[in-house]
Structure 1
Amino acid sequence: MSTSAPKADPGLYGYLPWDSRPKITWPGNARVALWIAPNIEFYEYAPPANPHRKAWPRPLPDILGYGTRDYGNRVGHQRMMRVLDQYGLRGSVSLSTALLQHHPEVIAMAAERNWEFFSHGIYNTRYTYGLDEAQEREMIQMSMELIKTHTGQHCDGYLAPALSHSPATIDLFAECGGNYTCDLFHDDQPTPVITRSGKKFVSVPYSLELNDTIVYVTNKIEPRRYGQMIKDAFDRLYAEGEHSGTVLCVPLHAYQVSHPHRLAAFQDAMDYICSHDGVWKATGREIAQHYLDNHYDQAIAAMAAVNQEEGA
């Protein structure tokens, strides 16, 4: 995929306006597919320098930055797990796969709960920026192999490390055997993704707006307001899901959401959502596979029909 010629869009997905799409139905006729995406990450204390991006905002050694993130692996994940257990929710782990070696106990606790594991690269302080295709493919393959070796799971999904991408990222992951990406942020329903190999591949909605790091660090929103944001998003998607199934993703970081003064807001939102009928408590893998099995071909045909009409 060349980056030299001007492009109007990334060329990764077609367009269908919301009200023109084939209806999506979820298992049990649910209105909303709810999936929780805990980011279980490892940040190196002194990572290799990358000329495209600094790993830490402060000069090394950034004790503050490292310690803040280490809090999640030491304390936060267990708190988060207990809340998810309370509501019968299984996490879909966006995993820095180096953590399989650094803190296998955290992964064991998630595996005992039958959580999904998908790739978030090796370290969250090593980026896709500056890698050629061979190097990026090696990184993707290594992360998938680590997940298979340590958990027995096939790695179906991908969220690029620290959201760093190349023009070939999605193509490479599809070619390595992946089935879905979380990296497009463009919709509230799954959509087919165009890959150079022609493999069927899907985007599963992943919300940056409800990502706790964006909420707390970038937008500086108070915990109680974050809990209300999750509820408000659910209410809208639940109403629209009466007509065609929607997806609500809540991405979490245990060093953000699991602090003692913040966790109650998330717990209150889960209590509210899970009190409703018509909520499919899913994983990213389950959403992707259901869409691929039941709706992918319909969406492709509908987009082809629209394109044919526009070209007539």
Structure 2
Amino acid sequence: MSEPQKSDPGLYDFQAYRGRPKIEWPEGKTCAVWVAPNLEFYEIDPPANPHRKSWAKPHPDVVGYGHRDHANRVGHWRMAEVMSKHGFPGSVSLSVALCDHIPEVVEDASQRGWEFFSHGIYNTRYSYGMDEAQERAIIEDSIRTVEAATGQRIRGWLAPALTHTPRTLDLIAEYGLDYTCDLYHDDQPTRVKVKSGKLTAIPYSLEVNDHYGFFIYNMSPREYADTLIRQYERLAEEGARSGTVMCIPLHSYLIGQPHRIGPFEEVLKHIAADGRAWIARAGEIVDAFNAQTGEDGR
């Protein structure tokens, strides 16, 4: 006999895309565009989680670790320079351990005026199987460590390696965080139902995430760039009715490779020159949405 299907957790109300109250972005822009560099730290030989392997190969995975270590040695700098050149600030999905292991990367992002939110401590340690005390400790560590390193108090959360517990969203809202990137259900911000505090889901993306583009869909650099432009063009067009959000999630060990950065730079040029994009940080988008809906989520 099969187990009964679990009910919908009721995290948000259903609202059809057509007929919603109009969202307006500053200066009449139709699409809020935010870039989410994942600045991550991977352990070469992490402790095993019984629910998921950290590496496809047995530990220590020198190949996997070295590929990702390119991000902090080379890829970040290449990616960050083209973003700054074309006026795109980052909203950083941060493996908080990076503050201790490679503070130079965090300092560079901070100096560029980028915003930080937590992506857990390590991207090789998962939320699966955590009890409440462990999860609280990670949230508290994230708040404390990022504030010490950058002066910023984090407002947002993207679960480490996209792993969660049933209590994650309630806990981050309890600690005063006001946006989550962990729901992929909409092209506009939405309210999330939590036990205390207020939480907004800002659109993040799997579909135009460079990890999916290169690892899952096996795109060439030019195919990925074309996908980003088509995503933007459609959202900017629809945003004339009610403002939309486009997130470009990046991993610099992927997009920061020499053969990929050129086509990506052309995407940034295209969006910056178009005139319909509000190029913003995640927190700015959340604030604009909250102001229009009559609820200050902070």
Match of 2:248 in 1: 250
Q: What is the aligned length?
A: 294
Give matches, 1:18-97, under 5 Å.
18-97=17-96
Give the C-alpha shift of residue 85 in structure 1. Answer: 1.0
Give the C-alpha shift of residue 11 in structure 1. Answer: 1.1
With normalisation by structure 1, the TM-score equals 0.92
- Does the CA-based 8 Å contact 1:191-1:296 persist in structure 2? no
Measure, in 2, the Cα distance between the counterparts of 1:115 and 1:18: 31
Match of 1:301 in 2: none
Q: 1:272 aligns with which of 270, 273, 277?
A: 270
Structure 1 position 239 matched with structure 2 position 234? no
Measure, in 2, the Cα distance between the counterparts of 1:178 and 1:259: 33
Q: After the TM superposition, which parts of structure 1 deviate over 6 Å for at least 4 consecutive aligned residues?
A: none
Measure, in 2, the Cα distance between the counterparts of 1:210 and 1:56: 23
Structure 1 position 204 matched with structure 2 position 209? no
Q: Which runs of 5+ in 2 are unaligned?
A: none
Q: Which runs of 5+ in 1 are unaligned?
A: 298-312
- Does the CA-based 8 Å contact 2:179-2:199 persist in structure 1? yes
- Does the CA-based 8 Å contact 2:87-2:272 persist in structure 1? no
Structure 1 position 217 matched with structure 2 position 188? no
What residue identity is the alignment partner of 2:244?
T
Measure, in 2, the Cα distance between the counterparts of 1:6 and 1:217: 31
What residue identity is the alignment partner of 1:168?
R
Residue-by-residue CA offset, 1:177-208 (whole Å, 9 max, x unaligned): 100000001100000000011x2210000011
Q: CA RMSD in A?
A: 1.4
Residue-by-residue CA offset, 1:56-102 (whole Å, 9 max, x unaligned): 00111211000000000000000011101111110000000000001
Give matches, 1:174-185, under 5 Å.
174-185=173-184
Match of 1:303 in 2: none
Q: Tell me, what secondary structure is at the counterpart of 2:14? A: coil
Match of 1:295 in 2: 293
- Does the CA-based 8 Å contact 1:27-1:280 persist in structure 2? yes
With normalisation by structure 2, the TM-score equals 0.96
Measure, in 2, the Cα distance between the counterparts of 1:288 and 1:165: 22
- Does the CA-based 8 Å contact 1:28-1:278 persist in structure 2? no
- Does the CA-based 8 Å contact 1:96-1:124 persist in structure 2? yes
Measure, in 2, the Cα distance between the counterparts of 1:84 and 1:26: 21
Give the C-alpha shift of residue 296 in structure 1. Answer: 5.7
